A and B are shown apart, each in its own frame.
With several copies, the nearest count.
Chain A
Amino acid sequence: MIARAALEIESGMTVNLGIGLPTKVIDHLPSHLEVCLHTENGMSGIGPTLPSDRADRNLIDAGGAYVSTVPGSAFFDSVTSFAMVRSGRLDLTMLGAFEVGANGDLANWKIPGKFSPGVGGGIELAQKARRVVVLTTHTDRAGKPKLKTECSLPLTARGCVARIFTDMAVIDVGPEGFELVETAQGVSSADVAAATGAPLRIPNTALPSF
């Protein structure tokens, strides 16, 4: 799924990869791709992650990983970093999710009573990037669907999600809800529909798999 999600990134884009699964997409980007990776704590042009023995103590990404520069990297402060986000300079952000609603709502920051460490930069990324895609397991640890008719958890942003990449499928959020686009190898459309907590539109034509 991570390799498939990486194909979403096109030449010329400025992209923010959220903490967790999305960050791993960086290892699947082809070297010829002309892309600018952004991190909230104040950097454009992120280079490969470094092991701690080669790390620069002053150079981390928003998830705390030690990263490196590429030719043309720039450092800036936190206000400038979010000025980029809010003014629409991110072509794409890839985020994790607790729940995605069939209307594109995203919940990914708080489970009341269990997990509430604060929202960090998530709201601004979800609300303001030009295109928001989600990378997530299709179901939670208890096997319950993360894709639902409506989110039950506190929202990060309304109607923001355009596409979802899971271990089972690629699903778009269309005007009438979830639409199956691709399936993982060995997974049928019926499998995906069964693991999805909302109606899933399945096209009549054969779907590609990844």
Chain B
Amino acid sequence: MRLPNKTCAMGATIARINDGDTVMVGGFGVPGTPMTLIHALVAHGAKNLTIIKNDANEPGMGIDHLLRAGLVKRLITTHLGLNAHAIGLMNAGKIEVEFNAQGILAERIRAGGAGIGAILSDVGIDTELAQGKQIVEVEGKPHLVETALRADVALIHADRADPFGNLGYVATARNFNPVMAMAAKCVIVEAEAVVPLGALPADAVQTPGVFVDHVVALETLTEEYAVVER
């Protein structure tokens, strides 16, 4: 027995993304954002996308390229504070934006990846984020039904991968990548290094390859991955 090989060329995998798809994109700010896969998606040009990402990066970076290319219909996110361009599109009604509490967005994605229908949480129950949500009592206390999120495709950035799709992340570039890598029908990973099977110790795997469909090796890291001068 050997484990299947899931390495492939980037173009072929991104071509699976269709108009109207829901796409999860890893990253919190620059770290962990799959910059190269995002550029490939812009080039591919699938439209009317629903994007699920913690933030909208900064103007001219990351998923802001998808916004500028007019490919995004709806954005499910937690905070757009660093991207005035995205806030402008939202205020002008050019994209729909759904805000979630950050940990609840993470849990909703995790629920999708864990095959759970929803979680019951009291986070934000006193706030306007509770509006329109079903309420269920647990042990006498009201909780919001926070439904699971799943996607057609997840775009993941990893530090290292083996050909089966076992992944490792580095520092705060981990963030939403491990949960998103569980929660999509098709999980596409860009990895800074693709190492041979067996080179990642079994105890050190952070996302098991069972969740991963395609692994793309990054040949170069563009300027977008670098430290941002502020």
Contacts and interface: CB of A to CB of B under 8 A. Distances in A.
Would A and B touch once assembled, by the CB under 8 A criterion?
Answer: yes
Interface of A: 11-12, 14, 29, 31-45, 47, 52, 55-62, 64, 66, 69-89, 116-124, 127-128, 154-158
Given A34-B3, A77-B176, A87-B183, 18 more contacts: A31-B1, A35-B3, A41-B29, A42-B175, A43-B171, A44-B209, A52-B229, A58-B170, A60-B29, A75-B174, A77-B178, A83-B115, A89-B211, A120-B79, A121-B78, A124-B103, A154-B128, A155-B127
Contacts of B197: 71-72
B172 interface: yes
Given A33-B1, A80-B208, A82-B102, A74 B202 contact: yes
Most buried by B among A47, A61, A127: A127
A64 B29 contact: yes
B101 interface: yes
A35 B4 contact: yes
Interface string B23-61: 000001111100000000000000000000010000000
Interface residues of B, number: 75
Contacts, number: 228
B77 interface: yes
A84 B114 CA distance: 7
Given A57-B226, A121-B101, A45 B3 contact: yes
Given A78-B106, A117-B87, A128 B29 contact: no
Most buried by B among A45, A77, A120: A77
B146 interface: no
Contact of A127 (B123, B208, B209): B123
